[in-house]
Amino acid sequence: MKITHCIFDMDGLLLDTERIYTEVSNEILSRFGMTFGWDIKSKMMGLRQREAVALLIKETGISLTIDEYVEESIVRQKEKFPFTKPMPGVMRLVKHLKEHNIPIIVATSSHRKAFEFKSMNNQELFKLFDGIVCGDDPEIKHGKPAPDIFLTARERLGNPSLEQCLVFEDALNGIQAAKNAGMPVIWIPDPNLAALYPGVNGATEVLLSLELFDPAKYGLPPYNNNDNI
């Protein structure tokens, strides 16, 4: 397999934000005597904000509207997001691809304002990308698992062949979106998600960390001993 372009999800893949989503959801649900488990979280991951919240309310039956939940969660998230850091292996891989002139782009279901807030203290990472596609971009008619966001990202990279666009995802909805787009996808699941859904789940390869990704396996420039980790 010869990969020429790479597309990266953000939450839980590039940045350690999924932990914060879990913390905030547990804080809100605790008022109703509930906890936020992986059975629900696994279905929400990768969805756009309002779609994810609608699913949460339906699954739990809590007496909040979508707007009420979103408003409260945003307040809580803004207190925590500035402290997010890149996930293990991210800086090494992204710098490596950039140094070797491999086109790279972020495709996140987060809306643009949320992306800007999450990324503001991680500019060293995000300035390396050739573009950012957000879930509320006009071209995105349908959220994951529809392929819209990845097809839009491909278009902004110059429309390379689908088979040469490698997607990196942490969510099951994201894997399905990449498959629906006709692209190979590397799944980097949280260990809790991997335990709940064992196997590859349609991904090209499953790794428990980007630290374990081997670029040479996909025809990308290999790491060398001088690469920064």
Q: Which amino acid is at 160?
A: P
* 3-state SS assignment for residue 142: coil
DSSP string, 68-94: HHHHHHHHHHHHHGGG--BPTTHHHHH
**Cα(64)–Cα(58) distance, rounded to whole angstroms?**
10
Element (H, E) at 26: helix 18-29
Q: Which of 173, 112, 111, 114 is nearest to 147 (CA)?
A: 173
Angstrom CA distances, 75 to 24, 37, 69, 184, stand at 10, 22, 10, 36
Tell me how crowded residue 221 is: count the other CB atoms within 10 A of its CB.
Answer: 13
**Cα(207)–Cα(225) distance, rounded to whole angstroms?**
21
Query: Under a CB-based contact definition with an 8 Å cutoff, are residues 108 and 12 in contact?
Result: no
Element (H, E) at 58: helix 49-60
Catalytic residue ranges: 9, 11
Tell me the CB-side half-sphere exposure of residue 210, using CA atoms within 13 A.
Answer: 25
Tell me how crowded residue 182 is: count the other CB atoms within 10 A of its CB.
Answer: 14
